[in-house]
Chain A
């Protein structure tokens, strides 16, 4: 299994020069385009922006050479292999011009006109400015070339037919650079540019439909990430990961260090912080926080009210409480207040109360470490309990956590717990 970036898997598949382009290029010997005179400031800017775009997560295989591609990504449509974006003239993008690179980023088209599979998030990258695209290109031209041919995708019929992408584009692709909103602050606009563009946050945090597309009208409303069995919470609802009642500092901490006094990142978001967000500067992190906070709609979560359990659920809850007190309370506290930032609060934590209980169940089964970052280099980890608790015990303790201390989540069943035991881990 690939590195966590299986998030992009969501979509119809990933870009590949393998089928679309290299075939055509191979007809004639490639002519390397002379690298522009190295401009260290431009290259540094491009490196920073490539971090913001998290290019490395997909375009570098495990223990592979940087940006040489070859990472397998499981999708509902088959396996795709990411492409080599080093400046090697034969197997990478060494013959490309900055115009061609921009067209690929902006319009999802290879230099020969072939269409990228939309797992390459060009529907987000289209918002990137020409200036920023040129900086990223200058950086990619400056890294060591790696001769490593792209591996053909292994997609099932009919998804191996690239002409399907035309239909996908009609439905889901809106080309266009980010247009600042003059009624909003500079911070807000910078944040929106990063979140909607290079950050491609919508790839996970917007529901993916059966066609592998994200609906614009449901932007950032959350969704289950296909193949991964993690739920990417809504960024617009305060009942999920809407950040309306978080402070700018709390949001910035979470993005940059992976932990905050309100909660920690886990699952696929840990990858994003590890490879991308921890490298952003204070101004950009703050700008993203300003924009994300503004996305949250409506009011804060309803005032929690203790539900009155039936006799049966009361039994489940007392069973859950006994497990909680034995296994969880030592770190998260008898009343779920935690010891932030290292032991996140469970009481009032929206991540635990979402309609989808997938993440809460998986955290109990699999545990997890927040990413080790410059701001939190020695994270504390949550132990896995899959080997220690039965399905009934997992269901009871997750139900207890979701419904106690004012939390308003729904109970979960042993069957739900059991199904997630086989979820892909890594």
Chain B
């Protein structure tokens, strides 16, 4: 399988661990349902990034499922977390948002769905560790501007639209500063009471 997905390695690493490019995410160990949803979304144009849209355009569902399952099964080591370039106040704001949300503005905590350890939940909620601040911030921007969409109800589109630019910066910086999880396994399906309905994660 590694040979079949060599086309992914240049940007995502041979084991899906990510590369030095801060805009390309780690794939390894994310739930297969999440990875599959993204592959379908890229293929069908629901998530816009032309190099990915192009690569996947003529690949059938069954093969995309196999690719997703493959990367979900890999457990390469995490790279060292980023050394924050933002102030301690910004990091603290990020930590608050990520762990507690901002009830006053209706913003749920990331941990509510992505698991308090940020390793995600089966079948389709991704872990948030091992990602760089630039990638996280670009994805939140993608939801706000409509270049990244998911099946309705598109919960992340709602969340991203509630965040200010400063919120995005703080969340991205905090998550990127987190060390590798001691236990990278994701939460079992349905084990977290999600604060929002999510089209990608049927209850």
Contacts and interface: CB of A to CB of B under 8 A. Distances in A.
Contacts of B8: 381, 383
Contacts of B11: 384, 387
Contact of A367 (B45, B55, B62, B66): B55
Contacts of A372: 58-60, 63
Nearest to B50: A425
A378 B51 contact: no
A384 to B, nearest CB: 6
B58 A274 contact: yes
Q: Which of B9, B11, B51, B53 has the most CB of A within 10 A?
A: B51
**Interface size range of chain A in the complex:** 20 to 34
A426 B42 CA distance: 11
B53 A382 contact: no
Nearest to A265: B58
Contacts of B55: 366-369, 381, 384
B7 A369 contact: yes
Given A4-B57, A368-B55, A384-B51, A379 B4 contact: yes
B66 A369 contact: no
Interface in A369-413: 369-372, 377-388
Nearest to B11: A387
Contacts of A380: 3-4, 6
B54 interface: yes
Contacts of B3: 380
Q: Which of A369, A385, A387 has the most CB of B within 10 A?
A: A369
Q: Which 4 A-B pairs have the closest CB atoms?
A: A381-B7, A371-B58, A425-B50, A274-B58
29 contacts: A3-B57, A4-B57, A270-B57, A273-B58, A366-B51, A366-B55, A367-B10, A368-B7, A368-B54, A368-B55, A369-B55, A369-B58, A369-B59, A371-B59, A372-B60, A379-B4, A379-B59, A380-B3, A381-B4, A383-B9, A384-B51, A384-B55, A386-B51, A387-B10, A388-B10, A424-B50, A425-B51, A425-B53, A426-B45
